[in-house]
Amino acid sequence: MSSPFSRRAHDPADPRSRRSGGGRSRSPRGRSRTPRTRPPLAPVAPVEQLWTAPEAGMPSFAELGLPGPVVGALAAHGFTEPFPIQAATLPDTLAGRDLLGRGQTGSGKTLAFGLALLSRLAGGRARPGRPRGLVLVPTRELAQQVDDALAPFARALGLSTAVIVGGLSFHRQAAAVQRGVDLVVATPGRLTDHLDQRTCDLAQVEVTVLDEADRMSDMGFLPQVKAILDRTPAGGQRLLFSATLDNEVGALVDRYLTDPVTRAVAPATAQVATMDHHVLLVEPAAKAAVVAHIAARDGRTILFARTKHGVDRLVKALRRQGVVAAALHGGKAQNARNRAIAEFKEGRTPVLVATDVAARGIHVDDVSLVVHVDPPADPKDYLHRAGRTARAGDSGTVVTLVTADERRDVERMMRLAGVRAAQTPVTAGGGELARITGARPPSGVPVAPPAAPAQQQSRRPRPGGRPSRGGRRRRPTAA
């Protein structure tokens, strides 16, 4: 009997084992002929298996099969019982199965795949330049937060981790990988740079995780993701975790996962029980004042705007009215983005104003209110923005500011998202706005703008391997 930890044998029927031949086919007489072609089949979304907790109660982390050091580290960090997505997936992933896992945002997906990955790597040692585990994520912020979440459990097992993202020093990343690192958490763009420069080799990767694969598809990263997966061993374990599993991930599943199990802990459009949704009907002329009153409330608040310039304008307006707010979007330098998130986590900045770059990259506890200042057009964007609150069983409120001409589109979008929300007309200073959001008048005392952080260089080597020392600087990777 083969072990579930053994590498898969070559199977001609396995699409990862096929070789694509070039040129034209030949008839038995030696004359070339044009092969008949068939239209490509559209990828089919995998069938989900909804998981329910056993009648005997939720199993313990030890009963799920996690190593003792991991169980001890979980207890030390206050994790006494697994979340459903963790209990649903860990038995299969620890056994080496390929898996597609879907859980609502904030349901504990990071530890679901991270604990399995680290446990599978336990006892081994990475060679210089050749990591043994890989997690691919769509954004820099999410990469850093995944690494932060997994670091205590990696240390408990004697494993090392590294983050490979754009906007940070290429050479420091390369040096870390060359020292030998067990797990790399990366964005596709910067990891591709390292692969092209041969500062990282994926030939020894045993477990690969795609986190937020649908978001990577939305951002146009799938070609890079496929090229990266092609450099990992065909027999390695592959895990795909996301808040949604739709047709966009079908091609990845068909090509790279072998006989995967699928696990979900709630229907894709299920509403989080601890999250309240409200549509606040506002007059266009009163919207700015309504936003200022909401932002002046007590507690951590995230405001979402549609564009980078809209975020910057809103932050300036709020600070002029006495609200301590910070901006987070893709146009900010990486160290500015890191500082904004750090100050938001620490409570020094109670209000974060962001574009959708942050919707899947902010994992901060105690965010009690999410505000769609500009309503999203896509139901997936709504759900991922909303998922910044009511995380891991906590309660939270999500409000969407809607003018009369936006009302029909927002109602349709929320139906597609499976969200039921009460509609309430509000005004700045009104009782309904205060009841729903805790809004209050801002102080009116201007807040000084934050000091501009020092620019951090992110040089990448020339194709010949030597760093550039002058002339035009290459633009850093977007991801």
- Closest by CA position to 313, among listed 282, 335, 284, 292: 292
With a pLDDT cut of 70, the percent of the chain lying above it is: 77
Beta bridge partners, 184, equal 134, 162
Residue corresponding to tokens 């979440």: 149
Mean pLDDT along residues 234-250: 79
For residue 2, name the pLDDT band (cuts at 50, 70, 90): very low
- Distance spanning both ends of the chain, measured CA to CA: 43
More reliable by pLDDT, 19 or 49: 49
What digits encode the pLDDT tens for the residues 69-78?
A: 999 999 999 9
- Closest by CA position to 403, among listed 266, 241, 246, 291: 291
Q: Looking at residue 247, what is its pLDDT? A: 58
Alpha helices in 122-197 (DSSP H): 140-156, 170-178, 188-196
Cα separation, 296 vs 329, whole angstroms: 21
Q: In sequence order, which residues have a C-beta less than 8 Å from that of residue 183 and are 6 or more positions away? A: 117, 118, 121, 131, 132, 133, 134, 135, 150, 154, 159, 160, 161, 162
Average pLDDT, the chain: 83
Phi-psi sector, 411: left (phi>0), alpha (psi -120 to 50), beta: alpha
What digits encode the pLDDT tens for the residues 414-450?
A: 998 889 999 999 999 999 999 999 999 999 999 987 7
Lowest mean pLDDT among 10-24, 243-257, 350-364: 10-24
For residue 151, report the phi and psi dihedrals to the nearest 5 degrees: -55, -45
Helix, strand, coil fractions of the chain, as percent rounded to 5: 35, 15, 50
* Structural element, H or E, at residue 241: strand 237-242
Position 352, amino acid: L
For residue 292, report the phi and psi dihedrals to the nearest 5 degrees: -65, -40
More reliable by pLDDT, 9 or 125: 125
Does residue 39 register a pLDDT over 70?
no
Judged by DSSP in three states, 192 sits in helix
